[in-house]
Structure 1
Amino acid sequence: MLLKKYIKNRRKLKILFLLTVIVLIVITVVILNISPNVNSTERVLDERFIARIYGGSGGGGGGSGMSGGRLEQPPLKSPRQNGVIVPEKYDEHKLKTRIAQERVLQLKQEQQQQHNAIEAGEEHAKLEATTTGVHIFYSAPVAWYKTKKSQLVAPRVQLRGAAKELLNDVSDAVLSSSFATSATTLTTTVKPVRILNTAFYPALGLYKPTTSLLQKHFDNIHNCGIGVLILSCSGKSGEVALYRELLELAPSYNLSITFEISVAGNQSLEFLQQQLEALRRYSTAESFYRVYSLSRKRLVPVIYVSNAYKLSDTPAGRAMCPSQAESLRNLFDGYFIGHIRLKNHVDIMRRLCFEGFYNKLPSNGATFASTWKNWSYLKSYALTYKMLFVPTVGPGFAERNKFPRHGDIQRHRSNGRYYGVAWRTAILNHVGFINIASYNNWPDGSQIEEVMPKAGFLDYNPGAKTKYIDLTTHWVVNFLKTRHEAAAAVAVPGQPSCYEFLNNTIC
């Protein structure tokens, strides 16, 4: 009844509503101004419980944080201001200092592990058997320096005053002519500057190919499971003795050697004949790499041809086909694998009667052939025309100015992840051969050889100096496993499998 009475009177209803609001506001302010008891147990955040979690061991007695009468770790002290928890301020200097200290500690631990491994005689992983399905580019010798072109400075000397009058008074015309010529064409020659042409610094220093060094390199390559070395053959007389030593040393490490010839600067028929003549010098060596061809019923050498796409529409290119009357196959026959860059280069290789093609440049995205996602197309093309596709994988690329038309084609190693993606892509495409660029091509930064951390140079950190040798061993094992499974799937009882020789297409 009382409520009805107030409801009928609108003025009294407004006053009652206003008093109710004021009372609620006063109650809220009183509750918020109550100072919290820090020592009391907090319902939202149990700081002693968090302290036990950080301490790594549980406490006893209903969240007291005590273990055997002793507090494992003092409870967290949250900074407060007027009873409200204040978040800790971000200190960039302290954060950078902590990161630097953690980095130094990590490097010390890695160096200690590396030192212990060397003392234990386990410097890197090893494989007992080698496979001829994996080839690696090898540089002997390494071009450590590049030479900057010299410039000629020719200042003009002007004769003035007394010197000019003296020259005019000389009666001997020959003497006058000689003096004037030497004075006006005075030149000074600047000596060429040699620049160290590598982004990394080798653990063995700037070495030259000696017998002991070659033995160490061959031992590392053999331990990775790699069976074939690719040498660059230029036909120069100075490399003959070195290459013969390599061919004689290779069988001791169960290695074979093949060659890469280049037609970059000269695509004439005579130049290519000279290149093949140079290869014939080594063709009788036991370690010269050959494969058995079921169609030809004999062993045939495998030869790489750099810049082979430049032979298009040239007499030298047409002479590569066996059907030609003056075919180069009569001079030196083999499985010729041509270097390609663009998509249409595979058609050029087919017209020039090459048995296969490879991309050579280990820089993903730099060209069509070196782009990983295009390898499935190249593999399919090779299967269609019974050719051989050999993808080139590499740990990275650190040569900026080699192909200026493509811009910056440098590829960071990304702590080995770049190398791993290249290997996985090649393995999943079920190729017969894979070549690696490279073991020791230091000028383009694609080497897997041991490196030395040095100021001003890149390194393999974090990781041991044999990091990429170990990664190569790992991926060769994966390649062999996949290859054996594929060979077993296509094997015909009682007949040798073509897959063991090439890629189940060229028989």
Structure 2
Amino acid sequence: MGAGSFYQVGLLMVPGMRFEPPDCLHSPYYPLRGPYSSIGRELIRQHLKEMELYGVGVLVASWWGPSWRKGSHDTQLVNTDKRLEQVIREIEETGSPVRVAFHLEPYEGRNKENVYEDLAYLTEKYMGSQALLRVNGRPVYYVYDSYKLPPGDWAQLLLRNDGPWNVRGTPKDGLFLGLWLDKDDGEQHILPAGFDGFYTYFSSDQVSYGSRVENWPLMQMWAVRKNKLFVPSVGPGYNDAKIRPWNKVSQRTRGDGGSLAWCRWIRRTT
């Protein structure tokens, strides 16, 4: 979305409640175009055009697992499997230059067996698509809350081995980015798990060690030494009060639609 695309609204939220547009939205920012459904074909095409206009080349799509698996849904009980399929189809049909990376979400019961099954499913369904972002021929996977699985479980998937869950060197292989949250996650999580790199997810510098810009030079030095890819996350403001009402210390304003906050991040990291 462009600068000025949202204005902020205030509503009393109850933890665990379901959000019901148009009066109650998941976000504290209200779209100038009004509430919309992410399954709307024309809306998806408009977003793709806006991304291209603003130089956004990659869409990282939230995915909560295949629709047939019990528990594969987000906190609003929405499964994103069909949404992902629709976005990829629209990119293919319109010829949009935007490419898709997968954001693997921590659905209930996620384990190494399910992750292997997920990768097999996504490989079979989408590996022939030109809409996917590929690095050295491999699709890109961001793994949110990757620390919730032990590094040893990830290693059975991501470190080349002869076991039944190994994906390295197979059609299921990809470029996998784990979440760096705490100070020692590099040595204790990213490295032993076999991730190709890491990202920080949060766009507020008060959420975690990994999200603080002052820590990024050290994290980048570590990444270079270990031959890992570092993907820092930035954004035009941050407000997750509707899903984490206790997290007010992490809020960052958008300024005039986000342009000031965005430029401030860019200046500090270039």
Do both share a fold (TM > 0.5)?
Answer: yes
Per-residue CA shift, 1:452-488, capped at 9, x if unaligned? xxxxxxxxxxxxxxxxxxxxxxxxxxxxxxxxxxxxx
C-alpha separation in 2, matches of 1:201 and 1:193:
13
Instruction: Output aligned runs, 1:391-430, within 5 Å.
Output: 391-400=232-241, 402=243, 408-415=249-256, 416-426=259-269, 428=270
| Aligned 8 A contact 2:241 2:247 in 1 | no
| Counterpart residue number, 1:272 | 115
| Aligned 8 A contact 2:60 2:102 in 1 | yes
**Structure with the larger helix share:** 1
Aligned Cα root-mean-square deviation (Å): 2.7
Per-residue CA shift, 1:41-71, capped at 9, x if unaligned? xxxxxxxxxxxxxxxxxxxxxxxxxxxxxxx
| Counterpart residue number, 2:128 | 284
| Alignment of 1:224 onto 2:54 | yes
Per-residue deviation at 1:313? 4.2
Percent of aligned pairs with the same residue? 24
Letter in structure 2 aligned against 1:364: D
C-alpha separation in 2, matches of 1:343 and 1:262:
22
C-alpha separation in 2, matches of 1:377 and 1:405:
29
Which consecutive unaligned segments of at least 5 residues does structure 2 have? 4-12, 68-78
**Cα–Cα, structure 1 residues 201 and 149, in superposed 2: closer, same or farther, change >3 Å?**
closer
| Counterpart residue number, 2:186 | 346
**Cα–Cα, structure 1 residues 214 and 349, in superposed 2: closer, same or farther, change >3 Å?**
same
| Counterpart residue number, 2:6 | none
| Counterpart residue number, 1:328 | 167
C-alpha separation in 2, matches of 1:220 and 1:253:
11
| Counterpart residue number, 2:70 | none
| Alignment of 1:253 onto 2:79 | no
| Counterpart residue number, 2:142 | 304
Letter in structure 2 aligned against 1:319: L
Which consecutive unaligned segments of at least 5 residues does structure 1 have? 1-123, 126-145, 151-191, 293-298, 429-507
C-alpha separation in 1, matches of 2:252 and 2:108:
27
Matched pairs, number: 237
Letter in structure 1 aligned against 2:27: T
SS in structure 2 of the partner of residue 260 of structure 1: strand
- TM-score normalised over the length of structure 2: 0.77
Instruction: Output aligned runs, 1:424-443, within 5 Å.
Output: 424-426=267-269, 428=270
SS in structure 2 of the partner of residue 319 of structure 1: helix
Instruction: Output aligned runs, 1:117-132, within 5 Å.
Output: none
**Cα–Cα, structure 1 residues 241 and 262, in superposed 2: closer, same or farther, change >3 Å?**
closer
C-alpha separation in 1, matches of 2:107 and 2:83:
23
| Counterpart residue number, 2:10 | none
Larger Rg over CA atoms: 1
**Which one of 199, 213, 217 corresponds to residue 28 of structure 2?**
199
Letter in structure 1 aligned against 2:172: F
**Cα–Cα, structure 1 residues 420 and 338, in superposed 2: closer, same or farther, change >3 Å?**
same
C-alpha separation in 1, matches of 2:193 and 2:154:
9
| Aligned 8 A contact 1:229 1:257 in 2 | yes
**Cα–Cα, structure 1 residues 193 and 376, in superposed 2: closer, same or farther, change >3 Å?**
closer
| Aligned 8 A contact 2:181 2:210 in 1 | yes
| Counterpart residue number, 1:184 | none
**Cα–Cα, structure 1 residues 148 and 363, in superposed 2: closer, same or farther, change >3 Å?**
closer
SS in structure 2 of the partner of residue 230 of structure 1: strand
Per-residue CA shift, 1:207-230, capped at 9, x if unaligned? 113111111111100001111111
| Counterpart residue number, 1:356 | 197
Per-residue deviation at 1:424? 2.3
SS in structure 1 of the partner of residue 158 of structure 2: coil
Per-residue deviation at 1:249? 2.1
- TM-score normalised over the length of structure 1: 0.43
Letter in structure 2 aligned against 1:309: Y
C-alpha separation in 1, matches of 2:120 and 2:59:
20
**Cα–Cα, structure 1 residues 197 and 241, in superposed 2: closer, same or farther, change >3 Å?**
closer
C-alpha separation in 2, matches of 1:317 and 1:263:
18
Per-residue CA shift, 1:328-383, capped at 9, x if unaligned? 33461011011121111112111111110000010112211101111111111111
C-alpha separation in 2, matches of 1:300 and 1:314:
23
Letter in structure 2 aligned against 1:328: V
Per-residue CA shift, 1:144-202, capped at 9, x if unaligned? xx88658xxxxxxxxxxxxxxxxxxxxxxxxxxxxxxxxxxxxxxxxx88543321211
**Cα–Cα, structure 1 residues 342 and 422, in superposed 2: closer, same or farther, change >3 Å?**
same
